[in-house]
């Protein structure tokens, strides 16, 4: 209860500060929305292969304060970077940095026949950047939710998620799946979401374990390779599909491939392509089995699958790094921890762990000390819980 009270106090304090800063900067009272970052318990890199994912929104958020202006200018300011930009409403195109996500969302709405005119916008938040918690998806979701609310456009949460995904594709150059945006918009407290990334059908899976906390350990390695390598992994998966389609015409994606089919024609593809496909096929299976364990309240068996996922990410999909491997290996031997793995696109970012409440402080202390001894840097730790999705905070 004490932690919840602290979190609520922090939340209200940040909202008050954002409102005050917006009024000082722009002289208006804004609409304020918030959208959470996300964790993905299992099911990594399966989304763009039309598979399954199991994300949940978390109590780390991006906030957007917004009010239209009559000057024909998009004025943006981000507290996290202490920097602002202005763009003409006639010049909406991709740019470098965080502002491209807001411009991309405006572009997506224009393609859907909606115009904003000039806008004054202030952004703030506590989703760690570069930590694999999808701060960019939270930014797109919060901004899209704010515009949709202010102008009463009537877009569904799914339409907002798809607009955010297209923004990543067209304005950020990352060919991501739908998971991050979906989790940020559809999150439900005490539940994770089993999302079918082909049909977009979804089911809320209970994740209510009051004796455990989700602990994220930030390797402090910025996943600068994640964007380019992400696109390479996607192309390798598509190459595997194209090989198998010659023998199995019904195959549309790795979602449709059995492990026996892959093994039968593994000699027809490069070893790296085979490894990528092998991981994805097994990862989909792990996710479906994991949902069964959660439905039965078997968190220990679910945790074992998390360790299996990390092994696959490291050895088969090759998106881990020495720092993430070290964190998972250290966590594996800690009493009171049920599962851990690298989370997100890879090459750094956070390791997600599920730890007993009464062991959380000891776990954080142990892993920070060991990591500092190994890499001469102390990793940040975030204790969080599953949260609701995007919402209006203040009108």
Q: What is the pLDDT of residues 190-201, one digit of tens each?
A: 999 999 999 999
- For residue 119, the enclosing domain spans 2-207+387-394
Same domain, 246 and 273: yes
pLDDT at residue 145, as a whole number? 98
* Same domain, residue pair 80 and 221: no
Range name among 7-16, 60-69, 95-104, 131-140 with the lowest pLDDT average: 7-16
The band of 224, judged by pLDDT with boundaries at 50, 70 and 90, is low
Q: Per-residue pLDDT tens for 77-117?
A: 999 999 999 999 999 999 999 999 999 999 999 999 999 99
pLDDT at 176: 80
Among this protein's residues, is 180 annotated catalytic?
yes
The pLDDT, as a whole number, for residue 4 is: 42
pLDDT (average), residues 330-359: 93
Sign of CA dihedral 150, 159, 393, 80: negative
Encoded tokens for 66: 């917004």
Residue 1 has pLDDT above 50, yes or no: no
CATH of the domain at 321: 3.30.70.890
The total of structural domains in the chain comes to 2
Task: Examine the domain organization and report whether 31 and 131 are in the same domain.
Answer: yes
Helices and strands (DSSP H and E) totals, the chain: 11, 13
Render pLDDT for 231-254 as a digit per residue (tens, 0 to 9). Answer: 899 999 999 999 999 999 999 999
Select which of 180, 260, 362, 388 is catalytic.
180
pLDDT score at 225: 53
Q: Report whether 69 contacts 343 (CB < 8 A).
A: no
Q: Are residues 124 and 246 in the same domain?
A: no
Answer yes or no: do 184 and 167 share one domain. yes
Asked whether residue 176 falls in the same domain as residue 91, the answer is yes
Q: Are residues 193 and 292 in the same domain?
A: no
For residue 335, how many other CB atoms are within 10 A of its CB?
A: 8
User: How far apart, in Å, are the Cα atoms of 309 and each of 62, 273, 287, 314, 329?
Assistant: 28, 18, 9, 9, 13
Share of the chain above pLDDT 90, in %: 86
Q: What is the pTM of this model?
A: 0.87
For position 223, what pLDDT does the model report?
60
Contact 227, 174 (CB under 8 A): yes
Q: Which two tokens stand for residue 169?
A: 């594709």
Q: Tell me the C-alpha distance between 328 and 310, whole Å.
A: 8
**Do 43 and 150 sit in the same domain of this protein?**
yes
Mean pLDDT value across residues 298-316 = 98
What is the rounded average pLDDT of the residues 162-166? 97
Facing residues of 351 across strands? 217, 342
Q: What is the pLDDT of residues 258-292, one digit of tens each?
A: 999 999 999 999 999 999 999 999 999 999 999 99
- Around 44, how many Cα atoms within 13 Å sit in the side-chain half-sphere? 33
C-alpha 387: how far from its chain's center? 13
CA–CA dist 170, 298 (Å, integer): 41
What token pair was written down for 112?
């859907």
What's the per-residue H, E or C state across 169-226? Answer: HHHHCCCCCCHHHHHHHHCECCEEEEEECCCCCEEEEECCCCCEEEEEEECCCCCCCH
| Cβ(148)–Cβ(112) below 8 Å | no
pLDDT band with cut points at 50, 70 and 90 for residue 132:
confident
Q: At 175, is the pLDDT very low, low, confident or very high (cuts 50, 70, 90)?
A: confident
């Amino acid at each position: 209860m004490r932690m919840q009270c602290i979190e609520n106090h922090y939340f209200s304090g940040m909202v008050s500060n954002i409102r005050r800063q917006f009024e000082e900067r722009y002289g208006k009272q804004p609409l304020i929305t918030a959208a959470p970052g996300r964790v993905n318990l299992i099911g990594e890199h399966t989304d763009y292969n039309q598979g399954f994912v199991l994300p949940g929104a978390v109590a780390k958020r991006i906030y957007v304060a917004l009010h239209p202006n009559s000057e024909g200018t998009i004025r943006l300011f981000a507290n996290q970077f202490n920097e602002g930009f202005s763009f003409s409403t006639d010049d909406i195109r991709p740019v470098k940095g965080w502002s491209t996500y807001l411009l991309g969302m405006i572009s997506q709405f224009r393609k859907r026949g909606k115009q904003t005119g000039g806008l004054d916008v202030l952004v703030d938040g506590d989703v760690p950047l570069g930590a694999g918690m999808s701060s960019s998806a939270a930014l797109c979701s919060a901004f899209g939710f704010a515009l949709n609310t202010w102008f009463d456009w009537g877009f569904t949460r799914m339409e907002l998620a798809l607009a955010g995904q297209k923004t990543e594709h067209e304005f950020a150059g990352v060919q991501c799946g739908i998971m991050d945006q979906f989790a940020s918009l559809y999150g439900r407290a005490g539940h994770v979401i089993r999302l079918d990334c082909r049909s977009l059908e979804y089911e809320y899976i209970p994740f209510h374990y009051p004796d455990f906390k989700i602990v994220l350990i930030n390797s402090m390695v910025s996943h600068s390779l994640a964007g380019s390598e992400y696109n390479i992994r996607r192309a390798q998966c598509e190459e595997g599909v194209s090989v198998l389609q010659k023998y199995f015409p019904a195959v549309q994606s790795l979602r449709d491939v059995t492990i026996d089919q892959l093994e039968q024609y593994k000699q027809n593809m490069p070893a790296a392509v085979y490894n990528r496909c092998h991981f994805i096929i097994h990862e989909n299976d792990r996710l479906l089995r994991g949902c069964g364990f959660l439905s039965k309240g078997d968190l220990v068996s679910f945790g074992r699958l998390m360790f299996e996922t990390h092994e696959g990410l490291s050895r088969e999909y090759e998106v881990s790094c020495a720092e993430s491997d070290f964190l998972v290996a250290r966590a594996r031997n800690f009493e009171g921890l049920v599962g851990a793995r690298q989370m997100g696109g890879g090459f750094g970012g956070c390791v997600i762990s599920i730890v007993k409440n009464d062991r959380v402080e000891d776990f954080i202390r142990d892993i920070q000390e060991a990591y500092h001894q190994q890499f001469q840097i102390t990793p940040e730790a975030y204790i969080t819980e599953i949260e609701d999705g995007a919402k209006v905070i203040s009108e």
